[in-house]
Amino acid sequence: GLEGDDKGMREGFEAVLREDPNDVEALNNFASLLMEEEATMGEAEALLRRALAAAPNCTEVVSNMAFLLSSPGRGKRDHAEAEAMFERILGSEEGERDV
């Protein structure tokens, strides 16, 4: 389970999200913490889906979601969704470079 420091961080993120349930940065960072443990992957995915709903073009959120969906043990549909997300990130970064 989550050790001392992580437990404190978790409580901090939960407090922020009680104030603002759609705080994209908090959702994303909390999900990153939860992705470190296999047992909390489902919770991480739920947080990232909320973050994506609030900020569908946030590269950090999209890349975390793609990473989570591409992890071993996920099904073909998840891997396909992850691939589409990685392509979206690469496409948006190339677009920014052309400016």
The confidence score (pLDDT) of residue 6 equals 85
The pLDDT tens digits of the residues spanning 6-20 come to: 889 999 999 999 999
> Residue 49 corresponds to which tokens in the numbers above?
């889906």
pLDDT at 56 over 80: yes
pLDDT bin (cut points 50, 70, 90) of residue 4 is confident
pLDDT bin (cut points 50, 70, 90) of residue 94 is low
Report the C-alpha gap between 18 and 80 in whole angstroms.
Answer: 33
Domain 4-97: CATH superfamily is: Tetratricopeptide repeat domain (1.25.40.10)
**CB-based contact 23:6 (threshold 8 Å):** no
The confidence score (pLDDT) of residue 99 equals 40
